[in-house]
Amino acid sequence: MHCDATNETNVLPPTGARVLVAMSGGVDSVAAAALLTRAGYVCMGATLRMTGEPPTKSVFEPCCGIQAVEDARRVCDRLNIEHRTVRIVEEFDRHIIAHFAAQYAAGLTPNPCIRCNRMIKFGLLYAYAKTWGFDYIAMGHYARLSIRGGRMALRRSTHRPKDQSYVLAPLTQPQLRRACFPLGEMSKDAARAVAAEVDPATGAKAESQEICFVADRNYARIVEARHGPATPGNIVDIDGNVLGRHKGIYHYTIGQRRGLGISAPQPLYVIAMDTVTNTLVVGRDEQSLCASFTTGPVFRGALAPDATVFRALVQLRYRHTPVPGTVTITKDGAEIELETPQRAVTPGQWAVFYDPEDYVLAAATIRSFVLPK
């Protein structure tokens, strides 16, 4: 790993800089801390306690739970660096969990990890970092950071299967200037080997794909606890014909095929949700494809400040394969035309715009879409 700010493929802080490493106790954050410490940076580990402990111990251990704190502290001791724990349960509940529940209740499908990166890890945590005398924050995310046209620009990780630039895409220029991603040019296996050198138990940890506050993937339970029981309503086809009943809008998401409780000669997908009439609209595969959509405000990455119309590879979800499209920035967002219509263009999710060299040009939340007639 070449830890030098002149490395244009993945810019890191100047040698000897003070770097706060956000540590979950997992493989990636431990590898990041080890690499930076060995490269001569002045590091400290910090673990965010974002959720309270469940009433009973479950198999799932959130990345911000008690065991995670203990694991991170043990690793920091082995690296001979200080470790601190920051309890932000109330702030996380207000800014992340409550927002997540409200979005679902409104028929949207949010990505809480993106919001958490922007508001908590590169927002609230950085405030603590400054107080403690640290100018940079390091994350164990797989993404690269470059300077392009005088702007800080995120770029996909060289190890594409683990690339996480999508969930970092809306970070602002001030946030990117204090960011550090030491795993940007590493594979997961290489990071695991680095972590295992420090702590074999950490190196052997399995990955968790769960949202930290929704361990059982039961999103509806989170929404119901804050907004009351869901109200059943009609499931209709694109012409308004009633096909069945749904158990509440927030039990579903755009693009869903299973669990609809209706039979049809061809597979049906959720293609729209009308929260005003409490109606779920379903359609056949070709009726679920979308070529045009609009977004909310655009967060610019490598995109020049004066650019208003540009071509990009458009990624609609974390695991979505990007497709070419044209983006036109408007006064309150953007209008996008895709070359190839896509299924499950989902309001509440983020659209991230890349160039052919894997740089993040810009990002914005999907607001509305146009279905085929």
Evaluated on CA atoms 130, 77, 186, 322, the torsion sign reads: negative
The catalytically annotated residue of 3, 76, 116, 290 is: 116
Q: How far apart are CA 243 and CA 263, in angstroms?
A: 9
Question: Strands, E, within 157-232: which ranges?
Answer: 179-180
For residue 15, the one-letter residue type is: T
Q: Name residues whose C-beta falls within 8 Å of residue 36's C-beta, 6 or more positions apart in sequence.
A: 3, 19, 21, 43, 138, 180, 182
Taking Cα atoms as reference points, which of 125, 109, 142 lies closest to residue 50? 125
Q: How many CA atoms lie within 13 A of 129 on its CB side?
A: 28
The catalytically annotated residue of 63, 76, 180, 212 is: 212
For residue 349, the one-letter residue type is: Q
| 143-148 and 151-156 beta bridge pairing | antiparallel
Q: How far apart are CA 178 and CA 134, in angstroms?
A: 10
Phi, psi of 175 (to 5 degrees): -70, -45
| Cα separation values, 242 from 52, 231, 258, 281, 284, Å | 43, 17, 18, 9, 15
Query: Residue 221 — left, alpha, or beta (φ > 0 → left; ψ -120 to 50 → alpha)?
Result: alpha
Taking Cα atoms as reference points, which of 86, 97, 77 lies closest to residue 24? 86
Q: How far apart are CA 74 and CA 80, in angstroms?
A: 10
CB 134 within 8 A of CB 180: no
Taking Cα atoms as reference points, which of 143, 183, 207 lies closest to residue 363? 143
**Is 212 a catalytic site residue?**
yes
Q: How far apart are CA 290 and CA 11, in angstroms?
A: 37
Active site members: 116, 212
